[in-house]
Amino acid sequence: MYHIARQLLFKLPAETSHNITLKSLKLAQKAHLLSVFTKQASSEPVEVMGLQFPNKVGLAAGLDKNGDYLEGLAGLGFGFVEIGTVTPKPQDGNPLPRLFRLPEAQGIINRMGFNNHGVDHLIENVKAARARGFDGIIGINIGKNAVTPVENALDDYLICLRKAYEHASYITINISSPNTPGLRSLQYGEELDALLSALKAEQTTLSESTGCYVPLAVKVAPDLSSEEIAGISECLVNNKIDALIATNTTLSRDAVQGMQHGDEAGGLSGAPVTQKSTEVIAEFAKQLKGAMPIIGVGGIFNAADARDKINAGASLIQVYSGLIYQGPALITECVAALSDVSVEDHKG
């Protein structure tokens, strides 16, 4: 059924079909048509970051930037949903077109640029979903506004952290999008240490004032050397970060040379990043030595891909591009494939 719908949707501009799909999902959720997916996705609870996840398969940030479709997406059988990236102020993102499919490679290139309605709008959506009885695990992915100089990025992250803290199950610090100029520079050295130490201090303050500990995760790029991975790992451990999400999209175009849209600017996701993200996860697992859990994301299209991420060292996985190409059946397939896989060695 999904593959028929996909043929029609793929005839439309990528961002148009994206929006149609989400709005249709919301209607299906309101009409109680998603229960079949929830029933198919078996419940194999696992504890990661001190949280009880119904299963190991989550939705990566980027699909639902504003938390408008939380219940519909969770209704597909996800164990957790990560929303955002959200910034302090609303912003339009980059000019259209900014989202491109590469069906030949099962890839997607995006240069969205953190288009979102601002953190206040997202939080209102989360509060409304909770008021309606939604009790699923919600990750809130935070970033900086494009107009904020990178040297002032901490200010934006602090605003979002404070506003999201009491409404998130966990919060992801996104320092790896290639579509916000200068953002990836925050992944390295003194810049990373200064950012994380300040955010960790604020987490401690918020934990004491609210009586609630909300874990902090950091999302990194796949375009990292072994030396860079070692440096990032040391910084994450020193600052007692709660989890690592690996990886974001890649700037590499090796796998899509000569393809239509293959030379578009932006981050490449999907099957072209499958192997690289798994290798990066394995390298981080080697460096971190169980100090914190890893959430594996990047080119998961089937059960084997999901298992590879776990075997590389991930405790949980997230999907996005694979969902676009494979449909909701991918969630059920991955949940079933991971239902008998222990994460005890990786959860930290």
pLDDT in tens, 29-83: 887 777 666 556 567 899 999 999 999 999 999 999 999 999 999 999 999 999 9
| 156 annotated as belonging to a binding site for a ligand | no
Q: Is 332 annotated as a binding-site member? A: no
- Structural domains in the chain? 2-338 (3.20.20.70)
Q: What is the pLDDT of residues 96-136, one digit of tens each?
A: 999 999 999 999 999 999 999 999 999 999 999 999 999 99
pLDDT at 254 over 80: yes
How far apart (Å, rounded) are the C-alpha atoms in residues 313 and 171? Answer: 21
Rounded to the nearest 5 percent, the helix, strand and coil shares of the chain are 45, 15, 40
Q: Which amino acid is at 71?
A: E
pLDDT of residue 109: 99
* 142 closest CA partner among 110, 166, 170: 170
157 marked among binding-site residues: no
Least Cα distance to 160 among 115, 102, 121, 133 occurs for: 121
In 179-225, the DSSP E strands lie at: 216-220
Is 270 assigned to a binding site?
yes
Q: In this structure, are residues 156 and 89 in contact, taking their beta carbons and an 8 Å threshold? A: no
Q: Is 2 within any annotated ligand binding site?
A: no
Residue 216: which of 258, 245, 179, 186 has the closest Cα? 245
Give the pTM. 0.95
96, with CB counted inside 10 A (0-12, 13-18, 19+), is exposed
Cβ pair 278, 308 in contact under 8 A: yes
177 catalytic? Reply is: yes
115 is in an annotated binding site: no
Instruction: Answer positive or negative: Cα dihedral of 22, 26, 29, 31.
Output: negative
The two counts, helices (H) then strands (E), for the chain are: 12, 13
Give the count of alpha carbons within 13 A of 249, CB side only: 25
Residue 193 labelled as part of a binding site: no
Check 17, 177, 269, 277 and give the catalytic one. 177
pLDDT higher than 90, residue 3: no
Averaged pLDDT for residues 266-289: 99
Residue 27: both structure tokens together: 């209607």
Residue 34: its pLDDT value, please? 76
Nearest-angstrom CA–CA distance, 331 and 301: 10
pLDDT above 80: residue 172: yes
